[in-house]
């Protein structure tokens, strides 16, 4: 399983995609939508979680692409 991916607002403007616990940015984009699309692709390929943060840094939403600690019952 790969690293969880985070979409976060960049201090210099735009949005970053960053692997969990990584100091390096994977991708920098000008829009949140583009960063989310890229991060979702990475997350799916790595069977990891995707966390999308707002401008304030709080998690707004998340997607599970593989390991879900609380899968839906059905």
User: What is the tens place of the pLDDT at every residue in 28-64?
Assistant: 999 999 999 999 999 999 999 999 999 999 999 999 8
pTM of the predicted model as reported, rounded to 2 decimal places: 0.84
* Distances 72 to 12, 24, 43, 52, 69 between C-alpha atoms, Å: 39, 33, 19, 21, 10
Q: Is 46 helix (H, G, I), strand (E, B) or coil?
A: helix
Report which secondary-structure segment, H or E, holds 15: strand 15-19
CA–CA dist 67, 57 (Å, integer): 23
Residue 24 gets the label, from left (phi > 0), alpha (psi -120 to 50) or beta, of: beta
């Amino acid at each position: 399983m790969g690293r969880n991916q985070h979409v976060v607002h960049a201090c210099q403007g735009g949005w970053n995609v960053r692997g969990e616990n990584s100091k390096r940015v994977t991708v920098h984009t000008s829009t949140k939508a583009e960063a989310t699309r890229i991060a979702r692709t990475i997350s799916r390929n790595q069977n990891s979680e995707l966390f999308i943060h707002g401008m304030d840094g709080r998690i707004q939403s998340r997607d599970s692409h593989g390991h879900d600690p609380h899968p839906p019952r059905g």
